[in-house]
Amino acid sequence: MRLRGKGMNLEALVESLCYFIFGVMLLRLTLTGAYLSYVTPRMKPYLIGLSALMLFWAVVNGKNIVRPKYKSRVKRCLVLIIPILLLAVPPSSLAAGAMVKGVSGSNLTAPSGGSVNKPEETVQSPEEYAYYTQDDLEKQDQALEESQDQEVATSSDNQARALPPGLNGLDQEAKTITISDEDFSPWVTEFGTNPEKYDGYTVIMKGFVYLDLEEKKENEFALVRLSMWCCSADLSPMGLITEYKGSLTAKENDWITVTGTLKVEDGYATLNAEKMETAEKPLEEYVYPFY
C-alpha cells in the first residue's frame, strides 16, 4: 500500500519562508547601513552576496511546496529562525564606554617606556683648520649655511608630500590640525607613529569621554572613538589621552569637541585641552582602521 501526504509540503513552505525572510532582512540591513553596528564596511559585498544566495534558495526550494510529504520535520528550520530573530531585534544602545570595559586600551597613545636617541655631533679640533686661510673658512661656513637651509626646505617639502592618505586638515603655516570624523583613525595612528612632527600643534578633534583608564590621573581622560577591526566583538577605544585644567563638566560617554595643544612626553603624544564643547554623535559612530 502506497502512502501519500495530503496538501502542501509544510516543511518546504517553512524553509522557503525562512530563506526569503532572512535574505530580505539581511539585504535591508546592508542597504540601510545598519550592518555597520556588527561588522566593518569591507563586509558589505559578502553580505549582499549572502542575501542573494538566500533569496535564490527560497525560489529553488519553493518548487517543493506543491510536493506533499507524509511527515514534515519543521524543527530543522530552527537553525534559520534563530538568526532571523537576532536580526529582527535592533542592537542594544549600550553606552559607548560600557562596551569596552576591561579593555586595556592598546589603541590609546601611551608611554613607550624609552627615550629618543639623538645622533651624536662630531666636533672638529682647531688643529684641523691649520691648512685653511680665513677666506677659505668663511666660504666653507657660507656653503654650510646654504646647505643646511636647503636641507630644511627639502625636509619640509618631503614631510608635506610624505603624509599618508586620510591626513586632511593640516595647516603647517598656522600649526593647526582640524580632524574630521572620517580622518579620526588615520590621524590618531599618525600621532602614535610620528608624534614629534606635530609637537606644539593646535589640534581640534571630536570624540567621547572615556574614563576607564589604567593609572588615570585626576585631571585626565581619553578622547576616543570605538575602533572596529573585524566585528563588534573586537571593539576597543582609540584616541588621545587628554589633560585639562579645572573640573571636567562632561560625563563619561559624552561627545565633545576638544581644542588643545599636542605635546610629546617620553615619546608619546597627549592633548592639553584648552577648550571643550558639546558635540553631536557622528552618523558613523565607529571607526574602521582597515576599511
Residue 222 and residue 241 in contact, taking contact as beta carbons nearer than 8 Å = yes
Predicted confidence at residue 144, as pLDDT, reads 64
Max Cα–Cα distance, the chain, nearest Å: 123
Quickly state the pLDDT bin for 146 (edges 50, 70, 90): low
Going along the chain, which residue ranges are E strands? Answer: 107-108, 170-171, 176-178, 202-210, 220-227, 236-243, 255-265, 268-278
Q: Exposed, middle or buried: residue 285 (CB in 10 Å: 0-12, 13-18, 19+)?
A: middle
Relative to beta strand 176-178, strand 170-171 is antiparallel
Residue 9 and residue 65 in contact, taking contact as beta carbons nearer than 8 Å = yes
pTM exceeding the 0.75 threshold for the entire prediction: no
pLDDT digits (tens, 9 = 90+) for 115-131: 333 334 444 444 444 44
Cell of 41: 564596511
